[in-house]
Amino acid sequence: MGTHAQIGPLTQRPGKVVAVHLAYASRAAQRGRRPAAPSYFLKPASSLAASGGVAERPAGTELLAFEGEVALVVGEPARNVTVEEAWDHVAAVTAANDLGVYDLRWADKGSNVRSKGRDGYTPVGPGLIDARAVDPAGLRVRTWVNGELVQEDTTGPDALLFPFAQIVADLSQHLTLERGDVILTGTPAGSSVVVPGDVVEVEVDAPAAPGAPTSGRLVTTVTQGEVPFTDVGAGPRVDDTQRAEAWGSREAAGLEAPFELTEELAATLRRTPVAGLSAQLRKRGLDHAVIEGVLPLAPGTTLVGRARTLRFVPYRADLFAAHGGGYNAQKRVFDTVGPGEVIVIEARGEPGAATLGDVLALRAQVRGAAGVVTDGRVRDSEAVAATGLPVFAAGPHPAVLGRRHVPWDTDVAVACGGATVLPGDVVVGDADGVVVVPPHLVAEVAQAALEQEEQDEWVARQVAQGHGIDGLFPPDEEWQARYRASRGDA
């Protein structure tokens, strides 16, 4: 075997290497998603390497990332085993580094064949820990880059989303785990980018077990590849989203911090008329930012927040049977909406059924939601208004959503009242209706709208004093000069 084909401490070449996408709570918090069940991908056995080897960053790429992990080595074959039986099928534990090139993720769509399948991208070792000698919930994984500790987590119940026994049992119901197979159990927070010359070390140990067994430090040195990709298949492609995920955050990647709707900015928007925001957006070429046909249920209601989205599709009996009952998309978004967020519902302007009622409105209100906007109808409208939750809708309707709708998806682009709304867009409402503002324009259009409002109020005072509209509304150069003089501007 060549250097990259070595299998370190493994006693036989694995038939397969199975890796978990996301398994640690710390990593899930970093990524902003928490899966309900484990998901997996396969790595080729040719990616295995021993301690002391190298991992090559391919020519033309920039985002090679390390992932320190606990690796399980299968002993007895496992097929349809229970969670209680699963650990008996694990022979050993060791350290692994699940390396990957984020520049190639775009083409993999979760399979990670290109990004994580390269030679040398699954170093394991250097030693094995007897699985019988340790508690699977009592392990620790640590990673160092150039001698600096960058990852440290345990396998305790508060650390892992899915205990190792659950992972083994789940995999065994889909495929036979054979003697020597390797399972990579996911990485905690702290994974980041390495560059040629960096040295990555990973260690797995059991500090509380007798003798504190350890895998020893798994050492991998990053080198620079010289062979460029050709045009026979997908090549590298990178954007700021991939940079942020590879480095661990936008700040670590040297990118601008993500938009934050601060209390100060939200307060400014509450003072800014929706009509003024709409006018400013039109001046910037955004002619379809108004959510048509929606008004507040309660007079005097205003609304400011970041969009969470919910999409309904037209009722169809078989689809409703599959998606409409139980913990459906509608219930999920109302149950997870956060403080300052506005649930925006695409209901296609359907007048024949409601899209929410008082119980869901109360749930959103208790969770601190900033409000709800729907281009459909609202059931129990008086009770909904009484919750105090700002709700903008096309009006009331007594029928439940199953009459015309199927709750379909959340946190996707939606079309509400003729306006496209993306998750994270800023939504502002008042007595005139609701407008959607792209985050990067919020501060700019809010300031411009307030300045325009101040000028409009001055113009209104001139009209009240008897001045004619011609030349004043909108102000021509002469009236503009008078306005500036009234403000004391030079």
Give me the DSSP letters along 250-266.
TTTTTPPPPP---HHHH
pLDDT for 106 beyond 50: yes
Instruction: For domain 3-247, give the CATH number.
Output: 3.90.850.10
Tell me: is residue 13 an annotated ligand-binding position: no
pLDDT for 425 beyond 50: yes
How many residues would you count in the chain? Answer: 490
CA distance readout (Å), 429 to 29, 99, 344, 351, 389: 31, 47, 12, 21, 13
- For the chain, the structural domain boundaries read 3-247, 289-437
pLDDT for 55 beyond 90: yes
Q: Which residues contact 282 (CB under 8 A, 6 or more apart)?
A: 289
312 vs 30, residue with greater confidence: 312
Instruction: For domain 289-437, give the CATH number.
Output: 3.50.30.40
- Tell me the one-letter amino acid at 433: G
Q: What pLDDT, on a 0 to 100 scale, did the predictor assign at position 482?
A: 85
Cα(343)–Cα(385) distance, integer angstroms? 16
- Tell me the one-letter amino acid at 382: E
Tell me: is residue 379 an annotated ligand-binding position: yes
CB 129 within 8 A of CB 93: yes
pLDDT for 24 beyond 50: yes
Q: What is the Cα gyration radius of the chain? A: 29
Q: How large is the average pLDDT for residues 52-63?
A: 95
What is the per-residue pLDDT across 113-140, written as a single tens digit (0 to 9) for each?
999 999 999 999 999 999 999 999 999 9
pLDDT for 481 beyond 90: no
pLDDT for 4 beyond 50: no
What is the per-residue pLDDT across 210-246, written as a single tens digit (0 to 9) for each?
999 999 999 999 999 999 999 999 999 999 889 999 9
What is the per-residue pLDDT across 307-355, written as a single tens digit (0 to 9) for each?
999 999 999 999 999 999 889 999 999 999 999 999 999 999 999 999 9
Vertex 240: Cα angle to 234 and 244 (nearest 5): 105
CB 289 within 8 A of CB 283: no
Q: How large is the average pLDDT for residues 296-306?
A: 95
pLDDT for 80 beyond 90: yes
Cα(310)–Cα(348) distance, integer angstroms? 12
Per the prediction, the chain carries an average pLDDT of 93
Q: How large is the average pLDDT for residues 154-163?
A: 95
- Longest Cα pair distance anywhere in the chain, in angstroms? 96
What is the per-residue pLDDT across 359-391, written as a single tens digit (0 to 9) for each?
999 999 999 999 999 999 999 999 999 999 999
Tell me: is residue 110 an annotated ligand-binding position: no
pTM for the whole structure: 0.66
Tell me: is residue 297 an annotated ligand-binding position: no
- Tell me the one-letter amino acid at 20: V
Strands (E), 283-399: 290-291, 295-296, 303-314, 341-346, 354-356, 371-374, 377-378, 391-393
